[in-house]
Chains A and B, each alone.
Chain A
Amino acid sequence: MAKDQAVSGEGGRKHTLSSTAILFIFLVVMVAAFSALSRDFYSIYNITSMLTNIAFSGIVAGTLTLVMIMGGLDISIGGNIAFTSCLVAYLYNLEKGPATGIIILIALLLGATIGSFNGFLITKLDLNPIITTLGTMAITRGMGYVLTKSRSILILENVVGFIGRGTIAKIPFPLLLFILSYVVLTILMGRAKFGRKIYCIGANQEAAKLSGISIQKIKFLTYLISGIAASLSGLILTGQSAVGMPQHATGVELDVITAVLLGGTSLGGGKGSVLGTLAGVLILGVLYNGFTMIGFRYVHIRVFQGIILILVVSLYEVREKKSY
């Protein structure tokens, strides 16, 4: 797939692609190292469960890549996920509550609403995306607390659980969603007109506007997609944990941004790739899982995460300067 992309010609392709290749090599080295250090690491069971665990944040990292390539940002992801899980659990425990299918639909509609709200403020009122989504982040997480009265709501008879724990042909459902979302997003950004317009807006919004690209429409849709993806992640997390609670996914937006930046997308926009983000997500997943396996504690691994982010991003900077 990587080779195929090299021919097409996307924004900043040459740099991001070769950087992506380096990231995947780094990933393979990490996997090899952890396999050597821990017998438990390299097993189908562990790898599958690791991938299933990162599925929920991986999906939103994929859609956040779109937002960031466009030069925007969405930090309402975590709040959105938490609110979705609370709403799902709340509806589930209502006497005469709606059917599961309806609940799932409502959950996705909630994400769409939050995404549209962000998109509306950012396009129509021209608000800064960081400020806007910082606002919706607080609103959504706050609403989660209000709705659940700050408690966790268990979901006992869990049909939503299929989204979190079910399997199709022995493959966990979240993992399927994870893979499917990256296939769709890679095609979207690599080959679709919509994705090309996102790159154009991120690279030079003024030039995109003069080229007849509808900035407002593309931006709105991109934030809408990010919102829907967050509620999908909320459904997965709710299913996996069998509980709806407002503390879910606290701080996940920062981890997701870390993964996107690791993948070579720049904060300024115009550059990056979904494949790069996939590498970023996997590296972070392997980092946590692997170090845990060989006996490090979570707090230590957080330090490593910070170091790796700074190292990799410095590397991008150096390569960038050299190429001119």
Chain B
Amino acid sequence: MLLEFVMADRLLEMRSISKRFPGVLALDGVSFDLEEGEVHGLLGENGAGKSTLIKILAGDYSKDEGNIFISGRQVDFHSPSDSQAMGISVIYQELNTLDALSVAENIFVGNLPKKAGLGTVDWRTLNRNARTVLDRMLVHINPKKIVGDLTVHEKQIIEIAKAIYKDAKILVMDEPTAALGEKDTVSLFNIIRSLKLQGVGVIYISHRLNEIFEITDRVTVLRDGRLTGTEKTGETEKGKLITMMVGRELKDMYPKREVPIGKTLIEVKGLNIKGIVEDISFQVRSGEIVGLFGLLGSGRQNIVRALYGIDECESGEIHIDSKPVMVDTPATALKRKMGFMPIDRKLEGLALTMTVSNNITMANIDNLGSGTLIDREFERKNAQKWVTDVKIKTPSLETDVNSLSGGNQQKIVLAKLLETGSRIFIMNEPTRGIDVGAKVDIYQMMEKLCENGAAIIMISSELPEILAMADRILIVSKGKITAEFGREEATQEKLLHAATI
């Protein structure tokens, strides 16, 4: 009896969890626990093992070693429904709402109240129940509203409501504020605090250290699949967490060098895309990295896609070397020596079933020989040069790209960009989802490009990265450039604040 009481105290305990994927040990003996009514932050670089740990908890992956206890009872999940049955709910960054249905239908999906006899949906009861759940969270959303019309934050609330209705004891939130403005973040934190009071345990994943300090009780840091430590939030500080996360001092991570800034290479004047971006003007000089920062949907992507000639724009001029140029397709952009790194390497960057060498030369096929045939020796030499320079780890040039790690794949995307011989580079989330070592290699190459007189436009959602690497940062908010910060004056707070106005 006593024993049971003591064990039941801890809502969740994950002990020495290990998970191996072909070629990588994604988790190596990681332990994690959660108390009732506690918000426990989970920190780590991309690839540190956060999502693997969460997926094991959610029943998406099975663990290779270790034990999971919920309220003292050992459990074994074989599928997501096993995990849900134990009161675990995960709210992913990409929300899983059914946009064509109403708020109430979304909350009660799979368990709609039926009218006795007829078996048709009892709309009145459904909407009333939905209102009860939403009231409990102190939010006011009309249950009859179509979810597709809601804001990201409201959709998030719907997902939380769904979890509460299912009586979730453990709520996992993966980067919940990534797409939120300041006001919505405050609202979200209020909801989290009310959940705490109801005894729900929340696992809170975020890169934003300020939020970790504001909302969590404890914080656990992972690095390279291992536990680096669990700290009481009140008794630690930022610098310590960063060192725990990165494993090295911040200044070693970003090899920013002083590069002389030259003349303007590209100037954008009055770029308009109807209903999306308005009057965008900026310039980038040789040797300079200009960062574009903004929230999801702010229009950053639309700006660079229009620049590279992927999407059409209503009006606007592009000047390269002070001369007006037309860029209406990626092919013309490449002719103007402008290269583009897409945001998603697998969807837009790589031909995964083709070889390393074929991928590297993909944007430069026409220059691989003078006639209609490819000069294969020339191609091999070019590819080999980039493999060496960008430090791509591959068994051979003839290896298919899909067998390489994310970091090496990203380096191939970079190599492909370099192979085009461009001078203006648009780099879209250049280090998304890759390990620290590969990141540093990519930063080093960016610095080298600047030293050789290139101009780089960088989009990054990772604040430390954009702060460390960009010479100037332009803030894009609701389709406009709303602020500009020099390297010296920019801080996380200023950027976030400006981006959410």
Contacts and interface: CB of A to CB of B under 8 A. Distances in A.
- Asked if chains A and B come from one complex, the reply is yes
Interface of A: 7-14, 187, 191-194, 196-197, 199-200, 203-204, 206-214, 270-271, 323-324
Interface string B329-355: 111011000001010000111111111
Nearest to B372: A192
Contact of A199 (B310, B348, B358): B358
B340 to A, nearest CB: 6
Interface of B: 22, 308, 310, 329-331, 333-334, 340, 342, 347-355, 357-358, 362-363, 365-366, 368-369, 372-374, 376, 379-380, 397-398, 400, 402-403, 416
A9 B351 CA distance: 13
Given A207-B350, A210-B349, A270-B354, 18 more contacts: A9-B398, A10-B354, A11-B353, A13-B398, A193-B374, A196-B365, A199-B358, A203-B353, A204-B348, A204-B351, A207-B349, A209-B310, A211-B363, A211-B365, A212-B330, A213-B365, A214-B331, A324-B402
Contacts of A200: 351, 354, 358, 362, 365
Contact of A11 (B333, B355, B366): B355
Contact of B354 (A8, A199, A213): A199
Nearest to A214: B331
A14 B400 contact: yes
A13 B397 CA distance: 12
Given A207-B351, A214-B331, A9 B397 contact: yes
A235 B339 CA distance: 47
A203 B342 contact: no
A192 B363 contact: no
Contacts of A193: 365-366, 368-369, 372-374
A200 B364 CA distance: 12
Given A193-B373, A210-B348, A271-B353, A11 B362 contact: no
B348 A206 contact: yes
Contacts of A194: 372
A211 B372 contact: no
B130 to A, nearest CB: 39
Residue of A10, A192, A212, A270 most packed against chain B (CB within 10 A): A212
Contact of B351 (A192, A212, A214, A270): A270
A323 B397 CA distance: 17
Nearest to A188: B372
Contacts of B331: 212-214
B334 A10 contact: no
A313 B62 CA distance: 31
B351 A191 contact: no
Given A9-B358, A12-B400, A199 B351 contact: yes
A192 to B, nearest CB: 5
B241 to A, nearest CB: 36
A4 B333 CA distance: 35
Contacts of B403: 323-324
Contacts of B355: 9-11, 13
Chain A facing B: main interface SS:
helix
B362 A208 contact: yes
B352 A211 contact: no
A269 to B, nearest CB: 9
A200 B352 CA distance: 10
A8 B355 CA distance: 10
A206 B347 contact: yes
A213 B329 CA distance: 10
A212 B333 contact: yes
Contact of B350 (A10, A197, A204, A214): A204
Nearest to B347: A206
Contacts of B373: 187, 191-193
Given A193-B369, A194-B372, A200-B351, A14 B363 contact: no
Contacts of B402: 324
A95 B398 CA distance: 60
Nearest to B359: A207
Contact of A12 (B353, B363, B379, B380): B353
A10 B358 contact: yes
Nearest to B345: A207
A198 to B, nearest CB: 11
Nearest to B375: A191
A97 to B, nearest CB: 38
Contact of A191 (B333, B347, B357, B376): B376
Contacts of A213: 331, 362, 365
A191 B340 CA distance: 26
B70 to A, nearest CB: 34
Contact of B352 (A10, A196, A203, A209): A203
A265 to B, nearest CB: 12
A214 B365 CA distance: 12
21 contacts: A9-B397, A10-B355, A11-B355, A12-B353, A14-B400, A187-B373, A191-B374, A193-B366, A193-B374, A196-B374, A199-B354, A200-B354, A207-B348, A207-B362, A208-B362, A210-B342, A210-B348, A212-B329, A212-B334, A213-B362, A324-B402
Given A191-B376, A207-B348, A9 B357 contact: yes
CB-based closest 4 A-B pairs:
A203-B351, A211-B363, A212-B331, A11-B354
A209 B366 contact: no
Contacts of B372: 192-194
A38 B374 CA distance: 46
A191 B376 CA distance: 8
Contacts of A10: 354-355, 358
A271 B353 CA distance: 7
Contacts of A210: 308, 310, 330, 340, 342, 348-349, 363
A209 B358 CA distance: 15
A211 B413 CA distance: 11
Contacts of A323: 403
A115 to B, nearest CB: 20
Contacts of B376: 7-9, 191
Contacts of A209: 310, 330
A316 to B, nearest CB: 13
B331, B358, B368, B372: residue with the most chain A Cβ atoms closer than 10 Å: B358
B369 to A, nearest CB: 7
B283 to A, nearest CB: 24
B350 to A, nearest CB: 6
Nearest to A211: B363
Contacts of B353: 11-12, 203, 270-271
B229 to A, nearest CB: 35
A197 B340 contact: no
Nearest to B369: A193
Nearest to B383: A9
Nearest to B349: A207
A1 to B, nearest CB: 15
Contacts of B368: 193
Contacts of B380: 9
A191 B379 CA distance: 11
B413 to A, nearest CB: 9
B191 to A, nearest CB: 38
Contacts of B366: 193
Q: Which of A8, A13, A210 has the most CB of B within 10 A?
A: A210
Nearest to A204: B351
Nearest to A269: B353
B358 A11 contact: yes
